Amino acid sequence: MRGNVLIIGLGLIGGSVGLAIKQQHREAFIFGYDVSEKNIRLAKMLGVVDEGVFTIEEAARAADLIILSVPVAETRRIMASLASLCLKPGVIVTDVGSTKKKVVEEAKCLTDRGICFIGGHPMAGSHKSGPGAAKARLFENAFYLLTPEANTDKGKLSELMEWLDGTKANFLIVTPDEHDLLTGVISHFPHIVAAGLVGQAKNYNMENILVSRLAAGGFRDITRIASSSPVMWRDILMQNKSVLMDLMDDWLKEMERVKSLLEVDDYESILKFFKSAKEFRDELPVRAKGAIPAFYDLYIDVPDYPGIISEITGYFAHEGISITNIRIMETREDEIYGVLVVSFQTDHDRIKAEECIKHYTNYETFIA
């Protein structure tokens, strides 16, 4: 497609969308704006955008597509600013925020002026940030939710999907209310639970410091999402308040039910509680991308001797495989093998790493 694209917000998501568009539409010209001049210069240097701009107005007037990749509160302010400009006829404005109902309501300042706004949410991410972490394939096979209003021009919806075709994402069309419920259930509420579990451990750690030492293994893994940006999650909770309050009520009722089963020693019902959860979880897609950024970990049984980490990372470096984290999970007492856990940004990198280890060594690998 020919045309001009303006990306406002050059972080991981905005940068990755930009790269996906550039990869698919070679003749498109991409402007990039960010509150950080450093991000603007870095995005230009890395080829995320064709030209960095230091004000929104000029590039917005020339744009055929405007992508808002900023916090939700900032999205509302920028939409009001765009509504005051003389934008190009036929321009499409979209966003990438993780809540939709309030954003779509605020977008009336645009739609009332005949400007097409279509809410969007690519459900993929990473535990890195900034334009330096952007990848064209970040959204590959991920769900990309679009929330057009009932009166949105179907041609404009198709045009937006064509612009975003390079993401190689799976597009789903839902209402803003459906979006906020879905993301509340499988993303927003789990973050609350994870933060609550960590908070509880912190409180008990004040009484017994062994809590933090023992939490270094599995507990740390299942609460990883509690390390996400506190500011971002505060804003998400406030934007999706009503959905999350209902989910909290449901959760409290379920926990009260489990508590009552414990009180009366109902072995059979407690078994059913865990069995039902196990069956549903075991049916979830293994390699599909969901709302919470996946942790692409590879577990490697390695000999416990000096230099083993540099040996493994050397193999990865030789094959051009990037890693995001590495740690020793355990060294078994009286045994020569330990478990090395290596994290990758994508499943593609993890698969390559697994093949790499099989090629260079006889170490066993597995995925939890």
Tokens of 308: 């083993």
| pLDDT reported for residue 319 | 92
CB 92 within 8 A of CB 118: yes
CA distance 185 to 173: 18
Comparing CA positions, the residue from 43, 44, 94 lying closest to residue 65 is 94
Say which residue the tokens 């984290």 belong to. Answer: 325
Percent share of the chain, pLDDT over 90: 62
pLDDT surpassing 80 at residue 346: no
- By the 8 A CB rule, do 53 and 44 touch? no
Mapping DSSP to helix (H, G, I), strand (E, B) and coil, where does residue 302 land? Answer: strand
What per-residue confidence (pLDDT) applies to 201?
93
CATH of 179-255, one of 2.40.40.20, 3.40.50.360, 1.10.3660.10, 1.10.579.10: 1.10.3660.10
DSSP 241: H
Nearest to 92 by CA among 16, 148, 18, 19: 148
Q: pLDDT of 116-144, one tens digit each?
A: 999 999 988 665 677 777 888 888 888 99
Chain length of the chain: 368
- List the one residue out of 39, 35, 55 whose CA is nearest residue 129: 39
d(CA 222, CA 90) in angstroms, rounded, equals 46
Higher pLDDT, residue 53 or 332 = 53
- Give per-residue pLDDT as tens, 261-273: 999 999 999 999 9
d(CA 102, CA 122): 17
Distance CA 278, CA 283 (A): 9
**How far lies 148's CA from each of 43, 160, 245, in Å?**
29, 11, 25
What pLDDT does 171 receive?
A: 95
Find out whether 103 and 72 touch, Cβ atoms under 8 Å. Answer: yes
> What is the residue extent of each domain of the chain?
3-174, 179-255, 296-366
pLDDT band at 336 (very low <50, low <70, confident <90, very high): low
- State how far the Cα of 204 lies from the Cα of 258, in Å rounded to an integer: 22
pLDDT of the residue at 334 = 46
Asked whether residue 224 carries a pLDDT value surpassing 70, the answer given is: yes
Task: Please tell me the predicted confidence (pLDDT) of residue 333.
Answer: 47
Say which residue the tokens 């097409």 belong to. 116
- Asked if CATH classification 3.30.70.260 holds for the domain at 296-366, the reply, yes or no, is yes
d(CA 16, CA 139): 8
| pLDDT band at residue 289 under the 50/70/90 scheme | low
CB-based contact 183:240 (threshold 8 Å): yes
Residue 135 vs residue 10, higher pLDDT: 10
Q: What is the pLDDT of residue 222?
A: 85
Instruction: Give one DSSP letter per residue of 85-123, joined into a string.
Output: S-PPTT-EEEE--S--HHHHHHTHHHHTTT-EEEEEEE-
- Give the CATH superfamily of 3-174: NAD(P)-binding Rossmann-like Domain (3.40.50.720)
How far apart are alpha carbons 189 and 254 in whole angstroms?
Answer: 14
What does the pLDDT read at residue 286? 65
Q: What is the identity of the amino acid at 314? A: G
Q: Is 197 exposed, middle or buried (0-12, 13-18, 19+ CB in 10 A)?
A: middle
Residue type, 282: D
CA distance 355 to 165: 30
Cα within 13 Å of Cα(323), Cβ side = 21
